[in-house]
Amino acid sequence: MLTTDGWRSLLVPDRDQHHGLCRCQTLAWKGCFHMAMRPSISRQIRFYLPLTLTSLLTVVTHSFFNAGLARLPSPEMYLAAFAVAKSLMHLFESPIMMVRHTVAALVEHGQSYRKVRAFTIALVVTVALFFAAIVASGLGRWILAEVMGLRGETLDAAERILAVFVVFPLAATLRNFVQGILIKLQATPLLTAATVIRIVYVALFVSFMDRMTMLPAPFLAGFMFLSAISVEAVALFAMSKFAARNPAQRFDRRFRERDITAKAVHLTFPLIFYFFGPLIITSLIKTLAQPFINTGLARTGQPELALAAYAVAWGLGMIVLSPTMMFHQVPLAFVDDKRPERAKAVRNFAAGLGALLSLILVGLSFSTLGHWILIHWIGAGEAISGLAVDVLRAMAVLPPIMIAREFYWGLLMKRRTTSYLGKGKVVNLVALVCGLLAAVMIGPQNPALVGIAGMVSAEGAEAVYLYAATKRYERSQAAAAEAASWQKAPANGRT
């Protein structure tokens, strides 16, 4: 029978990388065996697959939310009110969306864990108070009406849903922080387990909504989403205590075991903010991409067809592309600048994954399967499906580009040079606009291709910039090391 420590050791690896040794704790024995310095493909898959499943399951949860909203009176109104209120809330809570990345990149030992935790608490309190002030002052209603264009009962419903969302930043921050801890501990299966718990909860909530008619419909709409995130956050918190009772001590032990000669770098709040600030800019710029694409599609000769075909194709294609979105966590977890063979192993995994996803998109779009899914599963018309298939075919070039971008994104985060990431998103946005303008001027026969032309331009430009930034950083580090060695040489000669 496995003890608690036995289960914990199976779920959370406790490896000693010093001199290529691996410390394994199991139920019956403790042993050490030689382990290759290069992380195997299977090990990377075991780490990465749960992250991919978590992203996919999160998408599934949103379909349950829509099903719940459809059970309310005037479902069309509540679908619109919920979507607008949620988008406004996400705008204000966008800074805390980067908490997971910050934890995974900056936490190395107990002191850095406590410092990042304190920074996160200060951040979420600031965001929550600011968001609450926006809602309580009536400014939230003004934004919903004057900026987002809501009127009448839809405006009233959206304002009440927004009021329910006031405490959402607290739950989301707890979830994101614990996710970062578990990713750092390479306990990613626990993320998937928590997402499954969230799906089960939402399914039960939706099934019982018909019996909750005594509660106001706007409250039900907002509470359905808020409680789902809260349940996931609590589940993750409980699992994190199972994985590591005292995270600070766990990180201290891991730090000592990884390299007994290493000295702990003292992390300060200015250093955290220097790392975190560009990530906020990155998050905000990402929200601008879709409005620019819609604007480009609206300037084609057949705007309605172009918008509909691109939206349908992108929604289907993102099911295949979604595994690329979390790939930056792989270099964060496995790459070590002192061991170049690790980066090579992750690069090989990235190349294989990009090729596989491209092949899936090629098979989907060049066979009858893609057309069949668009017609019979999604319910798009014949005209829209024909245009959407062309977009899917063009999307087949995106997986290697997006995987490359995520790989270099993770490398730069690992090296704590996030200023390049913010500049990369600016390059992305500029390339997107240029690509859209060029495609509109060319005027392809299929107007929906304007959107994918912009996306390929944007993703490709950002990937090239991040690659160049990575090489620039490596050259500067090599030059600094060479200069240091030259400074030591005369002193060594005199002795």
Report pLDDT digits (tens) over 47-62.
Answer: 888 888 887 787 777 7
pLDDT, tens digit (0-9, with 9 covering 90-100), for 210-261: 888 788 888 998 999 999 999 999 999 998 888 777 887 888 787 776 654 5
236, 194 in Cβ contact below 8 A? Answer: yes
pLDDT at 362: 94
How many other β-carbons are positioned within 10 Å of the β-carbon of residue 176?
22
Q: Which of 145-149, 362-366, 423-427 has the lowest mean pLDDT?
A: 145-149
pLDDT score, position 177: 94
Q: How confident is the model at residue 2 (pLDDT cuts 50, 70, 90)?
A: very low
- Percent of the chain residues past pLDDT 90, beyond the cut: 33
Is 447 exposed, middle or buried, given 0-12, 13-18 or 19+ CB atoms closer than 10 A? buried
Task: Work out the number of other CB atoms within 10 angstroms of the CB of residue 265.
Answer: 13
For residue range 158-189, list pLDDT tens digits in order: 899 999 999 999 999 999 999 999 888 888 88
Angle at which helix 41-70 crosses helix 340-366, to 10 degrees, equals 50
Per the prediction, the chain carries an average pLDDT of 82
What is the mean predicted confidence (pLDDT) over 443-448? 89
Q: Could you tell me the pLDDT band of residue 6, with boundaries at 50, 70 and 90?
A: very low
Q: Is 446 left (phi over 0), alpha (psi -120 to 50) or beta?
A: beta
243 C-beta neighbours (distance < 10 Å), count:
20
- Given this model, what pLDDT does residue 459 score? 94
Residue of 256, 257, 254, 247 lying closest to 114 (CA atoms):
247
Task: Answer with the residue of higher pLDDT: 378 or 125.
Answer: 125
pLDDT for 355 equals 95
- Please tell me the predicted confidence (pLDDT) of residue 212: 84
pLDDT the model gives residue 259: 57
With 50 as the cut, is the pLDDT of residue 3 above it?
no
Asked if the model's pLDDT at residue 430 lies above 90, the reply is yes
Q: How confident is the model over 143-165, as a mean pLDDT?
A: 86
pLDDT at 36 over 90: no
Nearest to 44 by CA among 440, 346, 422: 346
Is residue 13 predicted with pLDDT exceeding 80?
Answer: no
User: Tell me: the pLDDT tens digits for 258-274?
Assistant: 654 555 567 888 888 88
Q: Tell me the CA distances in angstroms from 140 to 69, 87, 133, 371, 474, one per residue in order.
A: 22, 12, 9, 43, 46
d(C-alpha 452, C-alpha 465), whole Å: 20
Residues 6+ apart with CB under 8 A from 113: 107, 181, 247, 248, 251
Average pLDDT over residues 279-305: 79
pLDDT of residue 4: 41
Residue 77: which residues within 8 A CB-CB, separation 6 or more?
153, 154, 157
Distance CA 408, CA 412 (A): 6
Proportion of the chain above pLDDT 70, given as a percent: 88
Is residue 12 predicted with pLDDT exceeding 60?
no
Confidence grade of residue 11 (pLDDT, cut at 50, 70, 90): very low
User: pLDDT-derived band of residue 377, with 50, 70 and 90 as boundaries?
Assistant: confident
Q: Is the pLDDT of residue 413 over 60?
A: yes
Mean local confidence (pLDDT), 346-375: 92
pLDDT value at residue 130: 93
Residue 474, φ and ψ in degrees, nearest 5: -65, -40
Between CA 397 and CA 39 the distance in angstroms is: 27
Q: How far is CA 238 from CA 227, 251, 254, in A?
A: 16, 18, 21
Helix 168-184 and helix 217-243, axial crossing angle in degrees, nearest 10: 30
Confidence (pLDDT) at 45: 85
Compute how many other C-beta atoms are within 10 angstroms of the C-beta atom of residue 461: 21
CA distance 119 to 107: 12
- HSE, CB side, 13 Å, CA atoms: give it for residue 79: 11
Look up tokens 């303008």; give the residue. 437
Please report, for residues 259, 340, 417, 418, 466, the alpha-carbon distance to residue 473 in angstroms, rounded to integers and kept in the order given.
Answer: 24, 15, 9, 12, 10
- Residue 262 pLDDT: 53
pLDDT value at position 22? Answer: 41
The amino acid at residue 397 is V
pLDDT of 462 reads: 95
Span 401-411, average pLDDT: 94
Strand partners, 30: 25
Indicate the domain borders of the chain. 4-34, 53-286, 291-487
pLDDT of residue 461: 96
pLDDT at 17 over 80: no
